Structure 1
């Protein structure tokens, strides 16, 4: 993705077009739930997986059933779709290696993590959360400058430490949640 800054001019030409094309391809790959589930299962297993096992788990997740509860028709529908459509698409994008029965992630699959910042439906996006912390920090700093915050009970360094601690704890929680919510990081896909 081309970015601009004062010290670095925007990329133009074939390199920028290639980066944008690759980014579009990645978003297209991840736009399909079945492909995300396939990537999740492969990451979770951390090695080659069989098409049959992959199809079973993807079908179970899609239908919100246990693998043992699946019918052969449900397995076959997902198996066929993976074999004929989704796995060849992932292979063309160099995300997996697929040899008709065995699937293994490539090193390119790690690149997908950047695009998978999954925000649970009941939570605030991290960017908005950090913006809120910045507002709190600004209010504290303004209160100290205007001498409206008590510095007798809590010294100025104490206020600064509290704001810093809020950011530090938030960052630790953020990193932990991102690792937990990553594809392959939990039993069921997020």
Structure 2
């Protein structure tokens, strides 16, 4: 501390300010915020939003709206980009421009310049990658053993009811033969053909 004619000059405050100031802070060295599961669900529940994200991941991480619209329209209609008609492209273009891209940009998974129609992928989009597949259509669940058994049981009951009605109405050999044949077919489908012993 030094004394002057104008009073006392303290260097403590200046030193404290310098010590508290962070050095070499990189403003871009920040991780994106984790997306809430409800946000993820809302973003991915729409097929065109999924396809837009898929385009940025698989085709170009930075693109313009026209190029994206053509590819998304091709995926939607199961055709090549060369086969996309102007109507196909226009429907996708308008929906992306007015609704889907602004929503994705709002949640931070892409950058969208609406005036320049320029789109680029952000680091936050990586959180959605595991939900994006080559085919966005859900696969039909495989039929389990219990489902197969239930199906066979319902069919068998139906055949028994048919047989009982025929018996009550009067014996019909043809109906009996058809019923037994159907039972045999169902048994083969459910349990397979029997294996015959082979003599050594």
TM score, norm. by length of structure 1 = 0.50
**Greater RCO structure (CA 8 Å; 6+ sep):** 1
Larger proportion of helix: 1
TM score, norm. by length of structure 2 = 0.47
